[in-house]
Amino acid sequence: MIPFVFPLGIFVVVILVWFFFRSGGYKRRPLDVPPGRDWTLTAERFRDPQSGEMLEVWYCPRTGERAYVRMRGGRGG
* Rounded distance between C-alpha atoms, residue 71 and residue 57, angstroms: 10
pLDDT attached to residue 20: 73
pLDDT attached to residue 5: 77
Which of the two residues, 71 and 76, has the higher pLDDT score?
A: 71
Quote the pTM value.
Answer: 0.60
Number of neighbouring beta carbons within 10 Å of residue 75? 12
* Rounded distance between C-alpha atoms, residue 48 and residue 26, angstroms: 10
pLDDT attached to residue 44: 95
Q: What is the pLDDT of residues 18-47, one digit of tens each?
A: 777 765 554 578 899 999 999 999 999 999
The average pLDDT across 39-60 equals 93
